[in-house]
């Protein structure tokens, strides 16, 4: 039988994926897979644990399936990319926002998603590489609002789902202050005062599905979306435009497309969270950062 490694996070989303675990094993066995299960834990680093499993050449899986949120997926992708193995990845929606899984079109029903993954139709997609050492699959961000996922506890996410992110974001708005960035692309250098920015591979993050309406996973480009300084009274109107995806040409938005970005603070803030980037909802490296698009570097299962 083919070998499948199922990595699941018991705390992701509403924390009930374990109730679907037997269904997943049953469906994958129907598709001819022998299933090994890795339950993530606070006792060890998931990326390290998966990396250890992938270092044993005789035991490499034919397919890796991740059931969790974007953070769990990020850890697995980092382990896989750093291992140098080309093993396809399937994604089950089991987190709070499930931004990347939704962009792929993952079925909400777990059995349907497992059947789709079991067919193992593979495509190649882009991934991001930061400072030559840390990968991301969905988003790299920095500034106000971008770090809100670190201020939303698991109980709140379990109770309110992705609405928890909106609630925390609205709570942070009164403290917003513009930050002075220098952005270097492959063709220009731009200095801007921004509240925050996103570098997106897919169409959205934090439950906002249409942040990057032009996004494609295999075009070799990232979408840079920076929110310029503007009066907070204008925020509700811009928020509605963001929800609809009709805001790229708005004067309050800096929109760029490129395969590489160098981002630095001109006047670094004192807040330690603002000094660090956010990668797929995980704390990333400290600015300045060099972000590169690794074109079609990852094999992923079509959904």
pLDDT of residue 93: 85
CB-based contacts of 258: which residues, under 8 Å, 6+ apart?
185, 186, 187, 221, 222, 224
- Output DSSP code: residue 116: H
Residue 198 CA to residue 78 CA, distance in Å, equals: 20
Find, among 14, 62, 66, 13, the residue nearest to 40 by Cα: 66
Domains, the chain? 2-120 (3.40.50.10330), 136-297 (2.60.200.40)
pLDDT of residue 163: 45
pLDDT tens for residues 266-279?
999 887 778 899 99
pLDDT tops 80 at residue 133: yes
Chain centroid, CA 75 distance in Å: 10
- Output DSSP code: residue 221: -
Q: Specify the higher pLDDT residue, 35 or 166.
A: 35
| Omega before residue 288 within 30° of 0, cis | yes
pLDDT of residue 140: 96
**Beta bridge partners of residue 92, listed in sequence order:** 67
Please name the helix (run of DSSP H) or strand (run of DSSP E) that holds residue 74, with its range, or none: helix 70-83
Cβ pair 46, 76 in contact under 8 A: yes
Q: Across 8-17, 91-100, 159-168, 185-194, which has the greatest mean pLDDT?
A: 185-194
Residue 14 CA to residue 159 CA, distance in Å, equals: 7
Angle at which helix 70-83 crosses helix 46-54, to 10 degrees, equals 40
pLDDT of residue 99: 85
Backbone φ/ψ region at 121: left (φ over 0), alpha (ψ -120 to 50), beta = beta
pLDDT tens for residues 205-243?
877 888 898 999 999 999 999 999 888 788 888 888 888
Question: What are the DSSP E strand ranges found in the chain?
Answer: 2-8, 33-39, 63-68, 89-93, 122-130, 134-136, 139-143, 179-184, 189-200, 222-228, 253-258, 260-265, 276-279, 282-286, 289-301
Residue 303 CA to residue 106 CA, distance in Å, equals: 5
pLDDT of residue 165: 47
Tell me the pLDDT of the chain averaged across its residues: 87
pLDDT of residue 167: 45
Least confident of 9-23, 49-63, 147-161, 203-217: 147-161
pLDDT tens for residues 159-192?
434 444 444 555 555 567 889 999 999 999 999 9
Cβ pair 100, 74 in contact under 8 A: no
pTM of the model: 0.88
pLDDT tops 90 at residue 149: no
Diameter of the chain measured on Cα atoms? 60
Question: What are the DSSP E strand ranges found in 108-152?
Answer: 122-130, 134-136, 139-143
Question: What is the token pair recorded at 159?
Answer: 């109770």
Q: What percent of the chain has pLDDT over 90?
A: 61
Task: Count Cα neighbours of 78 within 13 Å in the Cβ-side half-sphere.
Answer: 23
Q: Across 35-39, 108-112, 235-239, which has the greatest mean pLDDT?
A: 35-39
**Beta bridge partners of residue 293, listed in sequence order:** 128
């Amino acid at each position: 039988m083919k070998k499948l490694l199922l990595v699941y996070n018991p705390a992701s989303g509403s924390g009930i994926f374990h109730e679907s675990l037997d269904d997943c094993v049953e469906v994958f066995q129907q598709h001819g897979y022998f299933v090994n299960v890795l339950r993530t834990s606070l006792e060890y680093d998931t990326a390290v644990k998966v990396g250890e499993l992938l270092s044993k050449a005789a035991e490499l899986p034919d397919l890796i399936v991740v059931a969790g949120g974007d953070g769990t997926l990020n850890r697995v992708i980092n382990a896989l990319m750093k291992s140098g193995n080309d093993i396809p990845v399937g994604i089950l929606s089991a987190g709070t926002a499930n931004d990347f899984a939704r962009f792929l079109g993952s079925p909400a029903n777990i059995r349907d998603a497992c059947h789709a993954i079991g067919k193992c139709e593979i495509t190649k997609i882009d991934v991001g590489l930061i400072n030559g050492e840390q990968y991301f699959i969905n988003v790299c961000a920095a500034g106000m609002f971008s770090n809100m996922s670190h201020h939303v506890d698991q109980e709140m996410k379990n109770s309110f789902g992705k609405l928890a992110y909106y609630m925390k974001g609205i709570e942070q708005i009164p403290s917003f202050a513009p930050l002075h960035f220098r952005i270097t692309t492959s063709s220009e250098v731009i200095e801007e005062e921004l509240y925050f920015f996103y570098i997106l591979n897919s169409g959205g993050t934090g439950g906002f599905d249409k942040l990057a309406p032009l996004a494609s996973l295999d075009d070799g480009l990232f979408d840079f979306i920076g929110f310029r300084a503007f009066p907070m009274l204008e925020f509700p109107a811009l928020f509605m435009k963001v929800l609809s995806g009709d805001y790229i040409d708005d004067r309050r938005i800096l929109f760029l497309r490129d395969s590489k970005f160098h981002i630095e603070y001109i006047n670094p803030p004192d807040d330690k969270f603002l000094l660090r980037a956010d990668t797929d909802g995980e704390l990333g490296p400290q600015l300045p950062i060099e972000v590169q698009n690794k074109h079609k570097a990852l094999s992923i299962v079509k959904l």
